[in-house]
Chains A and B, each alone.
Chain A
């Protein structure tokens, strides 16, 4: 960062990204015993961050949402020509908004839910560092800057799972770490190849889309392949999804929520922001493969869900299925599909985040998530039961709730993929035929989804409490849970009723981007 640059110091984006770290540094100086001070500091920091973020969102010119706004471009590492380029446009905006919302809610939720073995100081500091990493990834417009922020989230998440996680936490945390690191090693080689092979020697995401066309098709395929694995692990795509169920299941509640709501989105965001605009030609060649893996993920995730006996693990596998819809929508490479994907990302973030919150609170009350042993939640804690009901309904794609607008357009977009006549590597079947098959399969997937989610809701919420918990006093939703959950619930409903809130922002960015990609 060029510290002499006024641009850097006057941009609100700078402050949005770095305020959480500054807050974390302040917290480092406060003694560990003073937990309340840490909670207040963390909340204030995340709220200040959100406030700065909201000021960016309000200053955003929605009439020209297609353009990158608030761009700052100064030197960072001149030695490799990597620059501090940040900006916000219609694609990153919903993601930033999601992050700004989730983090303060997680801090609020942590108020009386610091998981064992305690140590609020370290836990909250990690959340704030995650905040910086996530926001940084979504505003970065330089590949190296993106890479660094993308990786910044790794360490806090590793420790969050490894220290505060469930019984099998150490296995889950190192698995998460190794998978992601393997992906990022491939990703960074792909980025550097782009740097040299494009002949431009630049990492700027703004300039590269036009420049990468000069790369030979074979190399484009190789580079895209590297990114496919790198981002695919993060999404996670079948067959590199196996870290996710472990990580989700073992992570503390807040960790699961952040993981589901924001971290997974980094992968799909990478596809939309980096891989496809820069290498559209290669994207078209890989289209069938991404689509295929996506639908396998949908069906596989759904089948796994049906076999789960643990509530949290079930939700984790449902993430695999839902991200499958997002990937399918991306694979169509149409404006409609990408819009659906972005909406799907936001919806999945809210809904699955909500489900993990409820699962966490359930675990806290019953000390188990074994579906068999639960039951009668509606009797013992009716409000929480209904919240679980709403979240499951949203998750299975009930019209009128946010989940519907993530799933339905994704399936619909597969009806008409781009490049319909292209003969794919899949036995030479044309794209059109292949994607229509995918569409049908994905539609069947929704039936499964309804199956396992209703199964979950029915077994956990309906009926009478099992004998073992019959006489246990199960408290209903408490103050902090209300504060943390209401905004998410409201948004799930609002977005379900008025999806245009997001579509209107994303479409103006996606349309020209896909046009450019198609024209190349």
Chain B
């Protein structure tokens, strides 16, 4: 029997950001196809413009307020998704600023680079609105596959090849695990809608396979956010990939992983926190300690940032370990963390890219005495690093504060113990952040070469934007906290 077809009503306003990015992508491909190989500089400008243009509907949607639900609930545009869409667009724009000279000056494919970048960002934007297993999975693949290719963009460089292949293999493995979990979940509940899964799993008698499904899904996303013990790809990939791509992976891609985690945990398992919470407790503790302790021993700044990123992911996992008691407060604290983290981490990568233009290396020793010949870069880097360490009045303090607050709010043994562990780890982390700042500011220039660094305009812009935001977020955290005021995921779930 054929069912009657009814065309879904499409809210073009709600879809506008995605449509703008898709259109930009199409334009990019056409322009790339019809311009000669030497004239690809337009690509980055078009891509950047497209992302900024996509911000316009995000703002109008935010001003409009309210929740827009499409495709029977599979695609939702609310405060949560708008905040994240904005985050992805802005960080994508900054990544383009970072890439401009790096890609243009190296022997890289310029046109395709921006196309893939935009495709990945599009996947992230869809992820923010996805409320259905299939949509989540499609978004995940859309954001991952271009990223695999970008990681290997430095063709003919063995490290970059290694980065790409490692990232690809681990990513595909994670997707397989994830799909296994999703298929179990679908088999158990007969639906792919997250809210319906939540209701089905709410009862007393939950089949044992549900535990398996939940574990597999969390593990699958654990790879994406590089939680320990699923982090092994991250340092090699970060070091080998072109640095702007590393920045993209460490910030946007990781954020997208967290978004997926939040959507699934709060959308599908809000009544199964008894299974989810201990899992996240263990993941968070392992991630923090392993990330920080290994970061202590790094001699390469990019690798250090990779491990510090793992540790930062540990901080962000922590609120999920008390998700059951604090509810949406956990979502908000993670959102705040993601936004501030994106700002300061992108800034740190921008400085590394700028300084490497002279040093041609990511080794810490090559940055010694940076303050002598590039005081602005050194001071900016110090600000970003101390912000990552969470020192007021730089933005990072509020991000950490939000985590502490959520953990203490839970008022449980798990919460307090995690709060103490986060505290201890902040101190460990300070040590290696301060070491980089120390090398740049207090040590002597290795070869006595004091010629200045040529910092192109786009990098200057990227550093200025991130630096100003890092300081402003620290002094007036309400600017970022206020955005998340109405960012909720739980309200969409009906309590059975």
Contacts and interface: CB of A to CB of B under 8 A. Distances in A.
A binds B: yes
B438 A170 contact: yes
Contact of B441 (A1, A80, A162): A162
A79 B430 contact: no
A144 B408 CA distance: 15
A218 interface: no
B392 interface: yes
A144 B400 CA distance: 13
Interface of B is mostly: helix
Contacts of B478: 75-79
B484 to A, nearest CB: 8
Given A77-B478, A78-B478, A189-B419, A152 B392 contact: yes
A32 B481 CA distance: 37
Contact of A163 (B386, B398, B441, B477): B441
A178 B391 contact: no
A158 B398 CA distance: 21
Interface of A is mostly: helix
Contact of B409 (A154, A159, A174, A196): A196
Interface string A178-206: 10011001101100110111000000000
A154 B387 CA distance: 13
A190 B255 CA distance: 30
Contact of B438 (A162, A192, A195): A162
Contact of A79 (B408, B420, B434, B477): B477
A182 B434 contact: no
Given A182-B427, A185-B423, A1 B476 contact: yes
A151 B423 contact: no
Interface string A197-239: 1000000000000000000000000000000000000000000
B442 A163 contact: yes
Interface residues of B, number: 36
A232 to B, nearest CB: 16
B392 A79 contact: no
Given A78-B482, A181-B426, A148 B392 contact: yes
B431 A155 contact: no
A178 B427 contact: yes
A177 interface: yes
B405 interface: yes
Contacts of A195: 405, 408
B408 A192 contact: yes
Contacts of B434: 158, 174, 177
Interface residues of A, number: 37
Contacts of B484: 79
A520 B36 CA distance: 81
Contact of B391 (A32, A151, A182, A197): A151
A15 interface: no
Contacts of B393: 148, 151-152
A177 B481 contact: no
B271 interface: no
A189 B438 contact: no
B391 A155 contact: yes
Contacts of A192: 401, 404-405, 408-409
A214 to B, nearest CB: 14
Q: Pick from B423, B426, B441, B476 the residue with the most CB of A within 10 Å.
A: B423
A195 B434 CA distance: 31
A182 B389 CA distance: 12
Interface in B395-426: 397-398, 401-402, 404-405, 408-409, 411, 419-420, 422-424, 426
A147 interface: yes
B261 to A, nearest CB: 23
A157 B277 CA distance: 41
A185 B476 contact: no
B397 A148 contact: yes
Q: Pick from A32, A147, A155, A195 the residue with the most CB of B within 10 Å.
A: A155
B485 interface: yes
B485 A79 contact: yes
22 contacts: A75-B478, A76-B476, A77-B398, A77-B476, A77-B477, A79-B478, A79-B481, A80-B401, A154-B391, A158-B434, A159-B441, A163-B442, A170-B438, A174-B431, A178-B431, A181-B430, A185-B422, A185-B423, A186-B423, A189-B404, A192-B405, A193-B408
Given A76-B476, A151-B391, A170-B442, 20 more contacts: A32-B375, A79-B477, A80-B401, A80-B402, A148-B397, A152-B392, A154-B391, A155-B386, A162-B441, A163-B441, A177-B430, A178-B427, A181-B389, A188-B404, A189-B408, A189-B423, A192-B401, A192-B404, A195-B405, A197-B411
Interface of B: 375, 386, 389, 391-393, 397-398, 401-402, 404-405, 408-409, 411, 419-420, 422-424, 426-427, 430-431, 434-435, 438, 441-442, 476-478, 481-482, 484-485
5 closest A-B pairs by CB: A79-B481, A185-B423, A151-B392, A148-B392, A192-B408
